[in-house]
Amino acid sequence: MASSNKFLCDVCNLSLISEKAMEEHLKGKKHQKVEEVTKMRQIQAKKSIFVGNLVKSMSEIEITDYFMKVGSVERVILDKEKHRYAIVEFQSEEVVEQALATKKHIIGGRKVNVKQREWKPVMGKQKQPSKKKNTRGQVDEGVVESLVALDNVTEQMHGLMAQLQLSPDDVNLRYLVCRLLQSVFQEFMPYAAVAPYGSSVNSYGVKGCDLDLNLTIDSRNLMYEFSTPDAEDEIVEKIDKKNLKDFDESETMDIDDNDDSVTMEIICKIIRQLVPGVKHVRGIPLARKPVVKFSHSQSGLLCDISINNRLALRNTELLAFYGKLNAVVRPLVFAIRQWAKVKQIAGNVGAGPKLTNYALTLLVITYLQMEEVKVLPSVKELQAANEDGDECIIDGWNCTFNCDVNNVASIAKENSLDNLLVGFYKFYATVDFSRNVICPRKGKIIPIEMFQTEAGEKEKEFKCGCLNVQDPLELSHNVAGNVNEKTVKRLAGEIKVAQVRCQSKRFSKSDGERKLWGLMLLVKEGTSDSLKAEVTGCLEVGFGNCTFLDSFKSRWDGNQNGAIAEWVHQVMLFYKTVLQDVLKFDCHVESLDGKEDMFDMNNQPTFEEVEVTSSNGSLKRHLEDDSSLPTKKLKMDGGEVHNENPQTSDTSLCSADVSFISSTDSHAIDMDVQSSTSSVISLPGEHLITYICKTKFPMWIGRRKHKRVLMKAPEYKSNVFALERAVTTKVVKEQELMGDVNFKSGSMSLQLHLRKVFEDGSCKLVLKMEPVTEEIECKSFFHFFDNFFLKLLSEHTFQ
Ligand code: UTP
């Protein structure tokens, strides 16, 4: 894979991953614009001088007057803050020469320094891949641009991996830190060995990932093999202690028998006092596998050191082996890890409710082991292939498996990378995570009941949760045991969104306009933002603008929170009714943020659910900063305001209050609302709902003529909902008959963001719809839907 430095655009200071990407970049508008501005700046610089040693009392006029004597001055730019220097731009380069030829320049009795103005590249700084960003394995602008220019998704996956993976130098640095620690520990424990495990050496590590280390106190008879990403056949480190001299117990520090906290304390002390360049050393004795955490200044690495964690060393070896076994494994794991990171599904900082990268990698591996895919053998199959080899038992678990690539590679079925990526989402979209166990040991997804029946004695200790992923070696360990329900919902929702995105035209083919496409739809941070920038439908529904029956009012009199909760719920149900019943969308709801399904009739929000516990500072800032937050009833297509509905066009929608409720509550929400006249306060429960609604027909086209006819029928005269429903039926029938209705993607999918916002003392609901796939149809739909929805809502009475 080409090194990113090989293809560097000097003008934009941007590294690209291939010659082709470079060519594409040079043709692009962005590059040409930068080139144009650069040239202009160069010319300007040649006509300018830098004047230093000024004092605050000097004015722009004084400086201009002085240099006008040398030649025609175009403009003077004065250092605004301190008036220490100025840039003087002349009309021609000749005047610059004259100014530079003059040895002494005295302004107001003070000698000033004059030199040629230096020229600096225009975009250099901004475009330099930010070290900070890159070190955490994020996709920076340059990477995105490079991937966009590639030919297909498979190339993009390889490109992403090339950009993110650890270089051999990165891996070597990690081994150096290891050796440094090992030499310190061996002072106390002659047979101690420090070895890396996890992403530093399993070949799936991204730049800047943590360094997981294991301290083996009695290291005799250890032998582990890890590989680096770029030198797959080359064993970088072989920890082979077989030939160590006889172990003399009296020479060692026996910390193995101590309890975890004492052990941690000793390790912390040794590291703190004897390892140079370490900071923030602290022990976490209560973790499932106790660790000591510290940062190492020289290498910039964050390190976790655990003790005698041989299972981790062995499973690292297993993952590294799978990566070597088939060339598709690593790029697939990189792509899915990046997707999960961007979607905030995986990668905890410390203990957390997201999937660990280890668990996520096992999800990918199990998928590849499945009978239908069979790119990789199961661990069981690897064990069977090792019948004659050495047995490896760790902590009572059979960790024997064949590590000879030649013995097992032949079983792999052929499959392309892009197919496997799409297949991953398609497969997991069908899995009910809470009812099944993902078993890389067997290469299967097994229903919990069956898993429990088949489980061996020790395996029975496996604790089922909302996500169940069995460790391939330590069979009683659910590696996703930390994951909470919210994360599982998010995982399931995002898998479905990814699946839909993978089906879109934009996934399989670039539109030639260098927009985001293919893999970038899944792994770029804020992908939905970029789609949103192009097309977003955004509706605001004000509480005070809705009509309420007296029964509603009296039910909630004195209970503002309860009223709003029910109102939100009813608006959501209304929204669903309009899409599903009136417009005949095929709707499927996923609540991505793990909160309750707002559309569920049986799931009435409770009083507590809408109670503001604090005015959320960060959210508040977010909302205030969010320029896309509509300030009027409706905002579409990057800011253009469409509002043709006279019934809802007045500004009272936003400023409508909740005055029908005589507020007697002393809850925070009331206080916040009363006291807030200009700020934006969000109720807890900002929802991101993947509301996948699909339609085969653009039923918003050609409605008017049918409506004109149907509205004459008495049954529709006073029932606008029945009328619109009938219109949809007519339109769909007509479009069905017509066959090709020029509906490009054949289906349209939307994602709904729901925000409850208090603004200027009033409550409103912001419904933001984003296309999940093609945006062309969505755009015309949003144009139609804004008025349509609000018009129907104005006919609705909340009960
Ligand atoms: P991580 O989840 O941190 O994976 O577990 P990673 O591949 O190193 O990814 P990042 O980049 O640091 O996030 C690190 C290692 O810890 C062991 C595995 O060896 C894994 O590779 N581990 C983790 C377990 O043995 N069991 C677990 O449940 C989790």
C-alpha–C-alpha distance, residues 767 and 28, integer Å = 36
For the Cβ of 197 lying below 6 angstroms from any atom of ligand 1, the answer is: yes
Residue type present at position 724: E
Q: Which atom of ligand 1 sits closest to the CA of residue 206?
A: 11
Distances (CA, A) of 743 to 356, 564, 597, 696: 42, 39, 31, 8
Boundary-marking domain end, from 486, 507, 528: 507
Three-state SS string across 216-284, please? ECCCCCCEEEEECCCCCCCEEEEEECCCCCCCCHHHCCCCCCCCHHHHHHHHHHHHHHHCCCEEEEEEE
Boundary-marking domain end, from 116, 132, 157: 116
Tell me how far the alpha carbon of residue 389 lies from the centroid of ligand 1, in angstroms. Answer: 27
Q: What angle do CA 78, 82, 84 make, to 5 degrees?
A: 65
pLDDT of residue 525: 66
For the Cβ of 312 lying below 6 angstroms from any atom of ligand 1, the answer is: yes
For the Cβ of 316 lying below 6 angstroms from any atom of ligand 1, the answer is: yes
Q: What is the CATH number of the domain that holds 106?
A: 3.30.70.330
pLDDT of residue 642: 29
Same domain flag for 345 and 294 = no
704 in a structural domain: no
Three-state SS string across 101-135, please? HCCCEEECCEEEEEEECCCCCCCHHHHCCCHHHHH
Task: Give this prediction's pTM.
Answer: 0.60
Instruction: Give 753's DSSP letter.
Output: E
Tell me how far the alpha carbon of residue 63 lies from the centroid of ligand 1, in angstroms. Answer: 64
Q: Whose CA is nearest to atom 17 of ligand 1?
A: 312
Tell me how far the alpha carbon of residue 315 lies from the centroid of ligand 1, in angstroms. Answer: 9
Tell me how far the alpha carbon of residue 65 lies from the centroid of ligand 1, in angstroms. Answer: 69
pLDDT of residue 569: 82
Tokens of 659: 């005055």
For the Cβ of 369 lying below 6 angstroms from any atom of ligand 1, the answer is: no
Tell me how far the alpha carbon of residue 196 lies from the centroid of ligand 1, in angstroms. Answer: 11
For the Cβ of 334 lying below 6 angstroms from any atom of ligand 1, the answer is: no
For the Cβ of 210 lying below 6 angstroms from any atom of ligand 1, the answer is: yes
Distances (CA, A) of 134 to 296, 439, 521, 530: 19, 33, 19, 21
Q: What angle do CA 639, 645, 648 make, to 5 degrees?
A: 90
**What is the secondary structure of 673-684 as a DSSP string?**
HHH-SSSEEEPS
Q: Whose CA is nearest to atom 19 of ligand 1?
A: 312
Tell me how far the alpha carbon of residue 170 lies from the centroid of ligand 1, in angstroms. Answer: 18
For the Cβ of 209 lying below 6 angstroms from any atom of ligand 1, the answer is: yes
For the Cβ of 224 lying below 6 angstroms from any atom of ligand 1, the answer is: no
Contact (CB, 8 A) for 491 and 467 = yes
C-alpha–C-alpha distance, residues 596 and 615, integer Å = 21
22 in a structural domain: yes
For the Cβ of 362 lying below 6 angstroms from any atom of ligand 1, the answer is: no
Q: Which atom of ligand 1 sits closest to the CA of residue 198?
A: 21
Same domain flag for 291 and 438 = no
Same domain flag for 439 and 481 = yes
142 in a structural domain: no
Same domain flag for 336 and 307 = no
593 in a structural domain: no
pLDDT of residue 512: 62
For the Cβ of 323 lying below 6 angstroms from any atom of ligand 1, the answer is: no
For the Cβ of 436 lying below 6 angstroms from any atom of ligand 1, the answer is: no
Q: What is the domain range of residue 433?
A: 332-376+412-507
327 in a structural domain: no
pLDDT of residue 622: 25
Tell me how far the alpha carbon of residue 648 lies from the centroid of ligand 1, in angstroms. Answer: 55
Boundary-marking domain end, from 467, 491, 507: 507
Same domain flag for 492 and 613 = no
For the Cβ of 357 lying below 6 angstroms from any atom of ligand 1, the answer is: yes
For the Cβ of 211 lying below 6 angstroms from any atom of ligand 1, the answer is: no
Q: Whose CA is nearest to atom 21 of ligand 1?
A: 198
Distances (CA, A) of 755 to 45, 268, 437, 619, 637: 50, 46, 35, 11, 19
Same domain flag for 543 and 462 = no
Tell me how far the alpha carbon of residue 362 lies from the centroid of ligand 1, in angstroms. Answer: 10
760 in a structural domain: yes
Q: How many Cα atoms occupy the beta-carbon half-sphere of 753 within 13 Å?
A: 17
For the Cβ of 356 lying below 6 angstroms from any atom of ligand 1, the answer is: yes
Q: Which of 166, 209, 212, 479 to mutate to test the pocket of ligand 1 (most atoms within 8 A of CB)?
A: 212
128-137, long-range: CB within 8 Å, 24+ apart, which pairs? Answer: 128/13, 129/14, 129/15, 134/207, 134/208, 135/207, 135/208, 135/300, 136/206, 136/207, 136/208, 137/164, 137/206, 137/207, 137/208, 137/209, 137/338, 137/341
What burial letters (b/e) apply to 114-148, b meaning 16+ CB within 10 Å? beebeeebbbeeebebeeebbeebbbbbbbbbbbb
For the Cβ of 226 lying below 6 angstroms from any atom of ligand 1, the answer is: no
Same domain flag for 296 and 364 = no
C-alpha–C-alpha distance, residues 465 and 484, integer Å = 8
Number of domains in the chain: 4
Tokens of 547: 């009509």
For the stretch 391-401, pLDDT in tens is: 899 999 999 99
C-alpha–C-alpha distance, residues 528 and 106, integer Å = 59
703 in a structural domain: no
| Helices and strands (DSSP H and E) totals, the chain | 30, 27
pLDDT of residue 18: 73
For the Cβ of 204 lying below 6 angstroms from any atom of ligand 1, the answer is: yes
122 in a structural domain: no
For the Cβ of 263 lying below 6 angstroms from any atom of ligand 1, the answer is: no
Same domain flag for 104 and 187 = no
Q: Whose CA is nearest to atom 26 of ligand 1?
A: 479
**Rounded to the nearest 5°, which phi and psi values hold at 473?**
-115, -50
For the Cβ of 479 lying below 6 angstroms from any atom of ligand 1, the answer is: yes
Q: Whose CA is nearest to atom 20 of ligand 1?
A: 198
For the Cβ of 212 lying below 6 angstroms from any atom of ligand 1, the answer is: yes
For the Cβ of 478 lying below 6 angstroms from any atom of ligand 1, the answer is: no
For the Cβ of 347 lying below 6 angstroms from any atom of ligand 1, the answer is: yes
Same domain flag for 66 and 205 = no
**Cα torsion for 112, 115, 121, 127, to the nearest 10°?**
-40
Q: Which of 226, 318, 356, 399 to mutate to test the pocket of ligand 1 (most atoms within 8 A of CB)?
A: 356
Low-confidence ranges of the chain (pLDDT < 50): 1-4, 123-138, 221, 228-253, 256, 527-534, 591-685, 745-746
pLDDT of residue 422: 96
Q: Which of 170, 199, 302 to mutate to test the pocket of ligand 1 (most atoms within 8 A of CB)?
A: 199
For the Cβ of 309 lying below 6 angstroms from any atom of ligand 1, the answer is: no
For the Cβ of 306 lying below 6 angstroms from any atom of ligand 1, the answer is: no
For the Cβ of 202 lying below 6 angstroms from any atom of ligand 1, the answer is: yes
For the stretch 715-767, pLDDT in tens is: 998 889 999 999 999 988 888 777 655 555 445 667 676 676 665 557 778 78
Q: What is the CATH number of the domain that holds 418?
A: 1.10.1410.10
Q: Whose CA is nearest to atom 15 of ligand 1?
A: 198
Q: Which atom of ligand 1 sits closest to the CA of residue 360?
A: 2
Same domain flag for 303 and 348 = no
Same domain flag for 308 and 342 = no
Same domain flag for 651 and 551 = yes
If DSSP codes are grouped into helix, strand and coil, which group holds residue 696?
A: coil
